[in-house]
Structure 1
Amino acid sequence: MKLKRKDWDSCLHKNVLLEIYLKSRNSSFFSLGYMIAKIGKFYIFKTITEYGDLDGYVLYRKYGIEKIKTADNYTKVFNNYINLLQNDNHFDNLDLENLYNKIPIGSINSIVRYCYDHNLVVTIDDFYCDCLLTGTIKSFNRQELVLDQEEYCKDYDVNNDEKIVTVKLNNISGFDLVTQKTYLYQQYLRQK
C-alpha cells in the first residue's frame, strides 16, 4: 500500500516496516526500514538488509523520497525474517544500535559535527552527483562539508578524479550515519 505524503509522519516511532523509494536512485531501488526520527527536512530510518538483519541508520531528505509503501506481501515476509533474527539474537550482530545511540540527532549540523569529531566514515548521496560519496569529513560549516574520499577510492580501486569533494548540506538527499558498510570499513581503517 502506497502511503500519501501527508501520512508519512504517522509512521514515526511506530514499528511499521516501510519500503522507501528515493528520487535520486534507480526507480526500482528501495530501502527497507522503520522511520524512527524526524529532524528538520530529514527522516531517520533504521534500515534492514536483504537478509532481514539490521543494515544501519540512514537520513533521507523528505523531498528526496519518491514514495513510501507498507503492508504488502514483501514487508510481511521481512517482518517474519526480522522476528526470527531478533529471537535468535542475530538481528544486530555489529551492535550498530549502540553506536547510533551515541550520535546527537538534534540537527543535521550536530550529526555532521559528531561524525567529524569522531572521524567516522560516512556515505552521502548528493542530488547533483551520479554516485554515492564515501569517506571522512575533513571540515564543515553550516552550509557545506568537505569529504575526503582518497583512502576509500584507493582501497576499493575506484577511479574518481575528485578525491576531496565539497558537498552543500542543502544538496544531501541521503546520509548513512552508521551502517554495516561504513562500520566495517571504519574497523578496517583502524587496523591499517
Structure 2
Amino acid sequence: MSTTKNKGGRPPRAPGEKLQRINLTLRPSLLFGLEVVARDRRTSLSQAAEYLIEQQLRSYEVEGAPAMELLDAAAGVMRDNLARGNPLVAKQPKDAEEVTSVLLASPSGRAFFMPESLQSPSERYFRYFYARLLSIARDALGGSDDPALLTPMMVVMSALARPDLLDHMYASAQDAEQKGITVDEAAATMYESIKATAATA
C-alpha cells in the first residue's frame, strides 16, 4: 500500500459541470484492482475509476497527441470563440472550461470535437454541415452590418457556446442525412430557417 498521503474525493469540477452515469462491466480481476485503488485513495469506486481514466488520458495518444490534449484543445476553441464576443452568449473567455464541459455532456458537442479519424459517418456529416452553415452565414453577411444578416451569423456562431442550439442543429443534420439530403442543401435550409426566425424575433 502507498505510503504517500492519499487525497480522497473527486477532483473539482468546472462550474456548471454535471456528472454523467454510465453502466460499466468489468472482469473480476479489474474490479478487484479498482477496489484496491479506491481503498488506497480512500474514495468510492466511481471516484477511483475517474482518477484512473484521467491518468490514462494523459498518456494515451490519439492522432499523435495525448488524449487529454483533445480536451484542452476543445477548451481553446471555446476560449477563442467567446473572445470574439457575441451578444447572444452571456459568457466570457474565462468561462471556456465550463462551456466545454457542458458541451461535451451532449452528443452534439462530442460529435463536434471528436477527432476526424474517429468520427462516425453521422458525426462527419454534422461537422461538414456546421462548417457549410457557417460559410453560408459568413458569405451572406459579407462586410454588411445589416441586422437581418448579422443575427443569423451570430446565431450560428453562438451554437458552440449553447448546447441547446447545437443539439437542434445536430438533430436537423441527422434528419437530413437519413433522408439522403446533401450537406449543402441541409445547411442552406437551416440557414433560411435561422434567418426567418431572426426576422420575426
Classify the TM-score, shorter chain.
under 0.3
Q: Which has the higher strand share?
A: 1
Give TM-score scaled by structure 2 length. Answer: 0.25
Q: Which has the higher helix share?
A: 2
Give TM-score scaled by structure 1 length. Answer: 0.26
Which has the greater radius of gyration?
A: 2
